[in-house]
Amino acid sequence: MKRLVCLVLASLFVVPAAFAQDRYIADKLFTYMHSGPSAQYRIIGSVDAGDKVKLLSSNKETGYSQVQDERGRKGWVESRFVTRQESMATRFPRLEKELAETKDKLANARAISDQEKAGLVDSLETRNRQISEMEEGYSDMSQKLSEAQAEVRNLRAKLDTQKDDLLLKYFMYGGGVAGIGLLLGLILPHIVPRRRRSPNGWA
């Protein structure tokens, strides 16, 4: 018997928890419209939250205001329910629309930013590639210039050597000619016989 009672009590606590789910109170409220400036007057209708009305007069003693709704009905409602600011029921759709437009603009701005970023990345890659190619060309030109300078130095060295060789040859040729002339000058008088002079003094 005790076990049965415990099961019943447990079921009483479990069942409400099983049916409990998150819900929200709707923003569809209303206030009554009276025929006079207090709750003692008869109710002639109601106005919903967010409805646009015209303020006709106010009674500070009773805290009621006379209004006229969009259907032309005139009545009295509590002044605390009459405000200059639109209700959330009216503002929420407009705010939701503005939020959607802002999201679209943000998405477009992000797309444009991504495109510009991609363009900048491509431009940077192109510039880097051009710089790399220019550096390679400069390296090749520097190498060729070094080779050309080395070749010029070698040619100048060969030219200087050839000049030295040519001067040496000229010197040797000149010395040889001078030596031969000296030698001939010494030998020829002994080889060629001298003519005897005649008694008359003629050879």
Assess whether pLDDT exceeds 70 at residue 5.
no
Alpha helices (H) along 48-87? none
Residue 21: per-residue pLDDT: 44
Residue 159: per-residue pLDDT: 84
Query: Of 29, 30, 27, 34, whose CA–CA distance to 67 is shortest?
Result: 34
**Residue 195 — pLDDT band, cuts 50, 70, 90?**
low
- Note the pLDDT tens digit of each residue in 51-86: 888 899 999 999 999 999 888 999 999 888 888 877
Query: Of 54, 53, 51, whose CA–CA distance to 90 is shortest?
Result: 51
Contact 41, 35 (CB under 8 A): yes
Residue 87: per-residue pLDDT: 66
State phi, psi for 70 to the nearest 5 degrees.
-70, -15
Residue 34: per-residue pLDDT: 87
- State pTM to two decimals: 0.36
Mean pLDDT of the chain: 78
Instruction: Specify the higher pLDDT residue, 92 or 72.
Output: 72
- Note the pLDDT tens digit of each residue in 15-30: 444 445 454 434 446 7
**Residue 1 — pLDDT band, cuts 50, 70, 90?**
low
Instruction: State the DSSP H helix or E strand holding residue 74, giving kind and residue range, or none if neither.
Output: strand 74-78
Tell me which DSSP letter residue 85 carries. S
Question: What is the C-alpha separation between 142 and 144, in angstroms, rounded?
Answer: 5
**Residue 132 — pLDDT band, cuts 50, 70, 90?**
confident
Contact 67, 82 (CB under 8 A): yes
- Note the pLDDT tens digit of each residue in 136-180: 888 888 888 888 898 888 888 888 888 877 888 777 877 777 778
Distance of CA 9 to the CA centre of its chain: 67
Question: What is the C-alpha separation between 49 and 87, in angstroms, rounded?
Answer: 7
Question: What is the C-alpha separation between 192 and 185, in angstroms, rounded?
Answer: 11
Question: What is the C-alpha separation between 129 and 50, in angstroms, rounded?
Answer: 65
Contact 176, 168 (CB under 8 A): no
* Residue 32 identity: Y
Instruction: Write down how long the chain is.
Output: 203
